[in-house]
Amino acid sequence: MASLSRQLAQWVVGLRHQDLPAAVVDRAKGVTLHGLASVLLGSEAPGGRQAVKLITEEEAGVRDGATIMVSGARVTKGGAAFANAEMAMAGGKWDTFRMLTHPGTSIIPGGFVAAETAGASGRDFITGIAAGYEVMERLAADFIPTVMARGFHAGVVFGIFGPAVAAAKMMRFTEDQVNSTIALCASLAAGNLEGPRSGGRALREGGAVRNAMLAVALARQGHVGGETVLEGDAGFYHAYAGNNQGRLTYSFVGDTQTSLDRITAALGKDWMFLETLYRIYSTAGYNIAHVDVTAKLCEEHNIAYKDVDRVEAVVNWLETQYPSPAFPSRREDAEPRPGSTPYYTAYGVVRRGFPVLRSQVDPSGADDPPEVLDLMKRVTLIPSHEMTLFGPRITIHTRDGRSYTKQSTGREFMWDFDEEARRIREVIPGIPIPAAQFEDIIATCRDLDRQDRADTLIQLTLRKA
């Protein structure tokens, strides 16, 4: 049987735009819009500005490079990917796959570098983005909690594969070149948890996408990456998951055995990409449903803050121990505080929503309604091994002795492009371009499969003189 990287490479090379289901095309357009909105927001944030300053000071004036969004500076391809990814991270409007990976923060920046380099059409861009998401998420899916338990950050470790595959597809790599790209990513993957635990700032997906561009460049020049680099006895899964037999330390649903064969099972038929959701609020992904599901429950039963005695939320157990039960930096089922899960649940009751532009939470609660700070103390989280990710069961007990329950599906934030466009417009007051220009970005993303060049979108992020 062909190696895992070879099977993935064969699928990537053979994938055509006409093979993509309509829902996949729609999701590719949506995550592109979401990523661009985050870049625009992040360009105004300290982390985004710092990244742009670093790269432009080191690399500005490159003749044959790529464009840093918003600023328009020309730098190396790896430098542009890094700066754009760091702005996306700083913007806080990430997409999320299975709680601990954020594919768009690396795939969208890497994809645009490739689109600009290759002059890719909108259809080519969509196909590359879909391939990148699918490969990355299949490689990550069952292994995310186990990789985290070994001290690696799964979002970064797996985040290198998506942009590399997307770029390789847009640049029309051969099967051997794609195979080498994937294999080289296994050697260049990195990401550690201890820095933030000891007072540092994590090096996240910006580093992953920069390394992805190196893997692509090496493969393009003919560097052979190897054949069994993923599943081999000394390969990627042995290194990052502890074994190549599918044994897991932790899993989202309690089953601690999987198979590497699942990575390529029904490839191109069952699209894992469609599990990607939009993190519309700038908080940990597992908090977002607590806002909207609780708000909807209050709306359906006309429940006001003054009516509420207490709230209970049954949640997936891993959502209470971030980022891993092996190295928890915060316990969401401990005493509630501003920024904790009960805080967002309380916001759902009190305000029936949360400000989309709010990216920082004051730990003192000075910026919050007193009703939120009061009610969060009466929210109880109940960890469960049976609950789906991002799918809390919310029960509100009212002062008159009644109770009302709403079960989330975990899919509330897996919406279509039109809903993404409707909700992401709330960022407009916080971005550095006029509202009309952002509307052009929305329109171009909506019609991306009819665009001659995908990098038109890069130009639409630029500040006008």
Read off the CATH number of the domain in which 360 is found.
3.30.1330.120
Determine what percent of the chain is predicted with pLDDT higher than 70.
100
pLDDT above 60 for 465: no
Domain count, the chain: 2
Q: Give the pLDDT confidence score for residue 253 in this predicted structure.
A: 77
Rounded to whole angstroms, how far apart are CA atoms 89 and 398?
39
Q: Does a structural domain hold residue 439?
A: no
User: Are 22 and 93 within one domain?
Assistant: yes
Whether 153 and 262 map to the same domain: the answer is: yes
Average pLDDT over residues 383-401: 95
Q: pLDDT tens across 340-378, in order?
A: 999 999 999 999 999 999 988 999 999 999 999 999 999
Q: Which uninterrupted H or E stretch holds 185?
A: helix 175-188
Q: Which amino acid is at 17?
A: H
Q: Which of 12-21, 90-99, 105-114, 321-330 has the lowest mean pLDDT?
A: 321-330
pLDDT the model gives residue 1: 87
Amino acid residing at 20: L
Position 52 scores a pLDDT of: 97
66, pLDDT greater than 70: yes
SS3 133: helix
One domain for residues 272 and 341: no
What pLDDT does 186 receive? 97
Encoded tokens for 213: 């561009």
Environment class of 101 (CB within 10 Å of its CB; exposed 0-12, middle 13-18, buried 19+): buried
Residues 291 and 274 in one domain: no
Question: Does 423 fall in a domain?
Answer: no
Asked if residue 421 is part of any domain, the answer here is: no
**Tens of pLDDT along 298-332?**
999 999 999 999 999 999 999 999 999 999 988 99
By the 8 A CB rule, do 384 and 315 touch? Answer: yes
243 and 340, same domain (yes or no): no
DSSP one-letter code for 454: T
Query: What angle in degrees, to the nearest 10, is found between the helix axes of 77-91 and 104-118?
Result: 140
Range with the lowest mean pLDDT among 74-83, 107-116, 339-348, 358-367? 358-367
Amino acid at 213: M
Considering the domain architecture, whether residues 83 and 201 belong to the same structural domain is answered as yes
Q: What is the pLDDT of residues 11-44, one digit of tens each?
A: 999 999 999 999 999 999 999 999 999 999 999 9
- The answer on 247 and 178 residing in a single domain is yes
69 touches 461 (CB < 8 A): yes
Report the alpha-carbon distance of residue 167 to residue 135 in Å, rounded. Answer: 12
Domain CATH for 69: 1.10.4100.10
- Together in a domain, 260 and 169: yes
Asked whether the CA dihedral 77, 79, 84, 86 is positive or negative, the reply is positive
The encoded tokens of residue 99 equal 């709680």
Same domain? For 274 and 291 the reply is: no
Rounded to an integer, the average pLDDT of 289-297 is 97
Residues 6+ apart with CB under 8 A from 265: none
Measure the CA–CA gap between 187 and 229, rounded to whole angstroms: 8
Quote the pLDDT of residue 452: 98
Task: Determine, yes or no, domain membership for 107.
Answer: yes
**In the prediction, which pLDDT does 330 show?**
87
For 313, the enclosing helix (H) or strand (E) is: strand 308-316
**pLDDT for 80 beyond 70:** yes
pLDDT at 64: 87
| Torsion of the alpha carbons at 250, 255, 260 and 262, rounded to the nearest 10 | -130
| Same domain for 244 and 119 | yes
Residues 31 and 163 in one domain: yes
105 vs 278: CA distance, rounded Å: 12
- Kindly state the average pLDDT of the residues 172-182: 98
Residue 247 has φ and ψ, to the nearest 5°, of -80, 130
Taking the C-alpha atoms of residue 9 and residue 121, their distance in angstroms, rounded to an integer, is 21
451 shares a domain with 402: no
In-domain check, residue 25: yes
Give me the half-sphere count of Cα atoms (radius 13 Å) on the Cβ side of residue 243.
Answer: 10
- Indicate whether 418 belongs to any domain: no
The boundaries of the domain holding residue 385 are 285-407
DSSP, collapsed to helix, strand or coil, labels residue 330 as strand
Q: Is the pLDDT of residue 426 over 80?
A: yes
pLDDT on residue 265: 98
Residue 172 belongs to a domain:
yes
Q: Is the peptide bond preceding residue 323 cis, with omega within 30 degrees of 0?
A: yes
Residue 33: name the closest of 434, 446, 432, 430 by CA: 446
State the virtual CA torsion across 130, 134, 135, 136 in degrees, nearest 10.
Answer: 100
- Could you tell me if residue 8 is inside a domain? yes
Q: Residue type at 381?
A: L
